[in-house]
Structure 1
Amino acid sequence: KPGSSPQKALNAGSFGAAALAIALIFPGAYFVIGGSRFGGSDGSAFSWLGIAFSSVVGLLAGTLIGVITEFFTGTDTPPVRRIVNACGTGSATTIISGLGVGMMSTLPPILIIGAAIAGSYALSGLYGIGIAGLGMLLTLGIQLSVDAYGPIADNAGGLAVMAELPPETRDITDSLDAVGNTTAAIGKGFAIGSAALTALTLFVAFVEAAGIDPSLI
C-alpha cells in the first residue's frame, strides 16, 4: 500500500515462517525419533524433546540475529541516523562513525551465537549444536526469497534511470533498494550464524574421530 514500509511486509513473512516452523518442529521430532534416546560420549542420553528444543534455540537465535541486523542497517534506526548526522561534517567523520557502528554491531550476534551453543549443548549435547544449526536454516526458503529481493529492487532502480522515467519512480525504487540492502545483510547474518554452529560441530567430530586428545589443542 502507498506509504507502508516494505520492510514490515518482509518481516511478516520471516516471522510467520519462524512461527510455523516452531509449530511443526515438535510433532516432526516426535514422529522421526519417537521414544528412542540418543546417547552422548559422556554417557548422557537425550530424548526427542531435547532435540526439538535445540532446533527451536537455533531458530530463535537466527531470528534474533536478523532483528539485530535490521536495527544496525535499517533505513531509519538510531545507528543509521548517527551515521547520517556524521555525514554533515565531512567524509572523515562519516568513515569513523560507520566503522564504529559496524564494530558495535558484531557484539550482540556473538553473544547470541554463544548462548545458542551453550543452550543447545545443555539440551542435547554435541548433537544438539548441530541441530541448532539446522534449526537456524528451517526458514531458509523465505530468507533466500527476501535476500533475492535486494538485487531485484536495485536493478529496477537502474532500469528506471536508463528508461528516463519520472523522478517519482526513482524515489520509489530508492526506498525499495534501501530495504534490499538491509535484507541482504540479514541473509548474511543467518548464513554466518549457522556456519559457526556447524563448524564447531564438525571440528569436535573430527577431533573425536581422529582420536586426538582435546587438551592438546
Structure 2
Amino acid sequence: MQSTTPLSQGLLDLPAEIRIIIYSFLLICRSNSHVSIYHNSTLTRNYTSHITGLSRSIAILRVCKLIQKEAAPVLYGSNKFVFCSMFFPNFLAQIGIKSVSLLREVELNCIIYQEGLGRGARMLGSAVSMKKLTLGNDLWSPERPKLMAYTLWPMVKSLDAARKSKSCPTQTQTDVLEILEFVQQVFSEDQLRLPKEQARDEAVNFTSQVREILRENLLLGA
C-alpha cells in the first residue's frame, strides 16, 4: 500500500529564490512587533512586549555555511545600521571584513573620541557596497572640517580604490564622496539648540567642506 504521508521538505530543498524571500522576511527590519511572552512565565496571558531588532531571526545564519552565505547579504545589505554606542568598531570587528563589505547604509550617532572614530572609519574602508554614511552632530564640529577629513581619509581612500578596481565593476559609477552626509540635530522649540534652517545650512556647509578637502586629497593621490 502506498503511503499517503507527505514527504517532509527542508529549507535547503526549496529553490534558492524562495530561500532568499524567506531570508528577507526574517532578516529585514520593518517595525516593532507585539509578541506575547506569557508562555512558561509568571506574566498574565494578555501581556505584550515590543521586540526590536533581529536577535532571534539572525540565528538562522548559524545553521550552516550555505545559509550563512545566502542570508548574510540580506541581513547586512538590506538594513540600515544605526550605531548609538562608542563601541561600534567592536561590532565591525566581530562581524568581520566579509560582512562589513556587505553594508550599504550606516549611521553613526554617538559620542566617541577621535581615535575610536578613526578606527571605525578605517574598518568601514572595507564596506565596498556602501551607499550612505551619515554622521550625527556629536561626531563633528563646524570649525574643524580638516580634522574630520583627516579622520575619514583612510576609509575614503580604500573605498575610492575599490570603486576604481576591476573587481568591483558595479561601484565605478558612484562618487565615493557622495556617500558622506553630516546632520545637525534640531530640538523642539522649548529646547532649541539651533534654528532649523541654520542647522541644515551648517550641516550642508560642513559636508561640502569635508568633501572638498577629501576630493583634493584624491586628486593629489595623498
Q: Same fold (TM over 0.5)?
A: no
TM-score w.r.t. the length of structure 1 is 0.29
RCO comparison, higher one (Cα < 8 Å, 6+): 1
Task: Give 1 or 2: higher helix fraction.
Answer: 1
Task: Give 1 or 2: higher strand fraction.
Answer: 2
